């Protein structure tokens, strides 16, 4: 259900008023993932221009993964599980301020051209993203119990820097044609709004399907649930209250 501007303003105000007292810049029960497991790779896409809007999102004052403490601890256990297979996790988004979710909705309803962001939905019209379930008025990310991630080989060299002026291929193209990413190829890039991003898609190579299945199994073993449209999206437990505190640099 879409929120009106007045309804969104009220929701954000009530969220801010009822948020627990902050400890170290974060509400109670939230932590920086780096403080729980610094070995998990981070590439926080909404803190920079490498995302479908082409700009940093409101509330992302730092490229840091923030999560509920129980979710962060569960990820640390998964990282340890994967280490036995010479693999690790790479996170793209964690807690997402409610103001950023609202910005996504405004962007999707804006009739302006998507520009370079079109590479994230090469076969869809921008206006179809909301009704197609790729962008929503509410997100579990704002409750701190959802995370977007992929697999990475430990010790993988950093990807080349993102160049906002480069003509990268669509998210459905072979990995070498997409924007740079040090993670393992999962058949599409992160935030690829396309049917091939469905976790169980058969329109990708066998090795890419194997990696998706491996990631899903590792996450499920620690209690996470996958969103079937997005191989990268997982949540732990019931969605709780939403928050709108900004992501600040880690103390």
Q: What is the CATH number of the domain that holds 80?
A: 3.30.1380.10
* Position 246 in a domain: no
* Position 203 in a domain: no
Is there a contact between 179 and 173 (Cβ–Cβ < 8 Å)?
no
* Position 222 in a domain: yes
Reported pTM = 0.90
The per-residue pLDDT for 23 is 42
Give CA–CA dist 52/69, Å, rounded: 29
Residue 14 has pLDDT above 90, yes or no: no
Angle (nearest 5°) at CA 201 between 50 and 205: 80
The per-residue pLDDT for 24 is 52
Using alpha carbons, select from 153, 46, 33 the residue that is nearest to residue 89: 153
| Cβ-based burial of 229 (10 A; exposed 0-12, middle 13-18, buried ≥19) | middle
* Position 117 in a domain: yes
The per-residue pLDDT for 110 is 87
Domain range for residue 71? 5-184+213-236
Instruction: Give the chain's domain count.
Output: 1
Contacts of 181 (CB under 8 A, 6+ apart): 43, 159, 175, 189, 190
The per-residue pLDDT for 130 is 83
Give residue-wise pLDDT tens across range 90-133: 999 999 999 999 999 999 988 888 888 999 999 999 888 988 88
* Position 30 in a domain: yes
Percentage of the residues of the chain whose pLDDT score is greater than 70: 90
* Position 85 in a domain: yes
* Position 134 in a domain: yes
Give residue-wise pLDDT tens across range 199-224: 999 999 999 999 999 999 999 999 99
Q: How confident is the model at residue 80 (pLDDT cuts 50, 70, 90)?
A: very high
Range of weakest confidence among 11-20, 24-33, 131-140, 154-163: 11-20
* Position 108 in a domain: yes
Alpha carbon separation from 102 to 2, 153, 168, 216 (Å, rounded)? 10, 34, 27, 28
């Amino acid at each position: 259900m879409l929120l009106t501007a007045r309804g969104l303003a009220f929701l954000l105000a009530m969220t801010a008023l009822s948020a627990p007292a902050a400890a170290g810049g974060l509400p109670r029960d939230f932590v920086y993932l780096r403080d729980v497991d610094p070995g998990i790779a981070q590439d926080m896409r909404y803190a920079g221009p490498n995302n479908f809007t082409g700009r940093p999102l409101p509330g992302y004052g730092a490229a840091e993964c923030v999560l509920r403490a129980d979710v962060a601890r569960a990820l640390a256990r998964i990282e340890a599980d994967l280490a036995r297979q010479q693999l690790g996790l790479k996170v793209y988004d964690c807690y997402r301020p409610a103001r950023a979710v609202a910005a996504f909705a405004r962007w999707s309803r804006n009739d302006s051209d998507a520009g370079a962001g079109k590479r994230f939905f090469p076969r869809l019209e921008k206006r179809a993203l909301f009704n197609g379930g790729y962008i929503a008025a509410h997100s579990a990310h704002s409750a701190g119990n959802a995370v977007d991630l992929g697999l990475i080989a430990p010790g993988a060299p950093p990807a080349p820097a993102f160049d906002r002026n480069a003509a990268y291929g669509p998210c459905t193209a072979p990995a070498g044609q997409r924007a740079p990413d040090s993670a393992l190829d999962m058949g599409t890039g992160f935030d690829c709004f396309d049917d091939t991003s469905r976790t169980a898609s058969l329109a990708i190579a066998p090795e890419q399907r194997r990696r998706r299945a491996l990631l899903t199994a590792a996450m499920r073993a620690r209690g996470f649930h996958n969103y079937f449209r997005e191989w990268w999206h997982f949540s732990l437990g019931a969605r709780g209250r939403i928050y709108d505190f900004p992501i600040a640099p880690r103390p």
